[in-house]
Structure 1
Amino acid sequence: MADRTGGEPQIDGRSTRWDEHKARRQVDLVDAAVALIEEEGTRFRVQRLAERVGLPRSVLYRHFKDRAALDELIRRRVVDSFMRRMEPTLTFEGTVEDAVHRVVGAHLDWVAQHPRLYAYMGVAEHAMGDGSLVADTKTAIALMLSERFGEVLKALGVPQAPIRSVAVGIVGFVDTAVNQWAHDERREQSEEELRAMLCRSVWAILDATLRDLGVEVSPQQRVSDLGPH
């Protein structure tokens, strides 16, 4: 209803409070859905969620436009969880070898700790691309890596290098390998063997790239000694 004095339209406080309540309730329901998937597996059913939170299914759906909207919020929550695990690892702490192990290990640790959430991303009706981590997430990680690589290379006197393509390739390689391992019922490698193989491979790519640029770096050198910190 407009203000009779010609000011801004007044906002109904009751409507605002309801919107805030609905938003909080939606977050709680998505949290419950994620917990249900972690406990029971990827074939997530809304009826089970309704039973878990003690609401009729029809009431639960008042908080979401439809099943697709709920699934999208769950996917976002899964990706957010993964990104919160990965972002702190992209630092200059320790040696080059430490940095490689930290980033690769964080990816593999998250998948090992949340296998059902990871698998949920690849279930047919909820699949995103090839069933591995969402493409935008991989791109975001690759861009963060390329920024850090670029800073180090500038400090080493190499201001221009096609490092973004290398970062995208590394992230894609690690994610594809982990995705295949996670879905393989007859794994040819243990988790520790996969971790070691990925770290060796990532270092080999970095080493070859640096040598092509005329730079030699020992995996035992501290990253902070190579670039800004």
Structure 2
Amino acid sequence: MVPEVTSSSAPPGDGRAARWAGQRERRRREFVDAALRAIAEHGPDVSTGRIADVAGVARPQLYKHFDDATDLKLAIADRATELITTALLPIWEPQGSAMQMIAVAVDAHTGWLAENGNLYRYLTRHSQLEGHLGRDAVADVKTVIARQLTQVFEFYLTAFQLDTRIADVVSFGVVGLVDSCAAQWLEEPRGITRTQLTDLLTRWIWRIVDDALRAGGIELDPHLPLPPPPRRQPPSPPG
């Protein structure tokens, strides 16, 4: 009689471990997506129990796929970062005139924020996770965006034969301006529509860029089409 092969006697290379790992990762992603739906529906202070309800499982079942609440929050932050990076595609592929590049990028940011307000609030409230000091999803995303903008500014400053050292400062300043203004608008819009906010931020950013160019003796028509910088893949935020 041929002995029955059990999981304990199966050779290590039979692929079972890989299949289990893939299944676990798939289930983790399903639970994270359920968490995103729960946050959108019930707000940034949603409980783990509510997330389990939306996922259609008992809370203990949820924790079979996550080490603890912090592990779940980290997974949510990672997934949110993916979504934000995808939504901000215009920043990775700028094209058109300077004003068009700015307007499209700002519109993408304010659009994502308007549609995902509760998720943004969740990320800001859970930015510093226990045991992961320094891990801040919102700050990570802002840093990635600022680094990308630095490369874009360096490309055009080089083309205009200007000092590229200001690119980093300008980039982080612009990102901080957009994020702080949009976050405040999210909580207290005061009758300002998203379109109006986008227009305001677009004009302000152009004035910052225009000032930097004029300081170097360059007067640029903001509506003049510009050659696009080299295309780059969105980088992964620091983990």
Q: Which bracket does the TM-score occupy, shorter chain normalised?
A: 0.7 to 0.9
Cα deviation, residue 159, structure 1: 5.7
Match in the other structure for 2:79:
77
Deviation of 1:133 (Å): 6.5
User: Which letter maps to 1:193?
Assistant: Q
Of 125, 145, 161, the residue aligned with 1:157 is 161
1:155–1:228 contact (8 Å) kept in structure 2: no
Tell me how far 1:215 sits from its aligned partner.
1.3
TM-score (norm 1): 0.85
**1:88 to partner: Cα distance:** 3.2
Counterpart position of 2:60: 58
**1:201 corresponds to 2:204:** yes
Distance 1:108 1:28, change over 3 A: same
The one-character-per-residue Cα deviations of 1:70-110 (angstroms, maximum 9, x if unpaired) are 01111111121111111334434221111110111111010
Structure with greater helix percent: 1
Q: Which amino acid aligns with 2:225?
A: R
Deviation at 1:35, TM superposition (A): 1.4
Tell me the distance in 2 between the aligned counterparts of 1:188 and 1:133: 29
Task: Give 2:38's aligned residue.
Answer: 36
Query: Which residue of 1 is the match for residue 143 of structure 2?
Result: 139
Unpaired stretches in structure 1, ≥5 consecutive residues: 1-8
The number of residue pairs the alignment matches comes to: 215
1:56 to partner: Cα distance: 1.8
Residue 223 in 1 paired to residue 226 in 2? yes
Q: What's 1:5 paired with?
A: none
Name the CA distance, whole Å, in 2 between partners of 1:144 and 1:200.
20
Aligned mates of 2:44, 2:194 — CA distance in 1: 22
Q: Cα distance 1:63–1:92, how it changes in 2: closer, same or farther (>3 A)?
A: closer
Aligned to 1:4: none
Q: What's 2:178 paired with?
A: 174
Instruction: Report the 3-state secondary structure (helix = DSSP H, G, I; strand = E; otherwise coil) of the residue aligned with 2:104.
Output: helix
Q: Is the 8 A contact 1:145 1:167 kept in 2?
A: yes
Q: 1:128 offset after TM fit, Å?
A: 4.9
Q: Is the 8 A contact 1:82 1:110 kept in 2?
A: yes
Q: TM-score, normalised by structure 2?
A: 0.82
Q: CA deviation digits over 1:38-75, x for unaligned, max 9?
A: 12221211212222222221111010000011011111
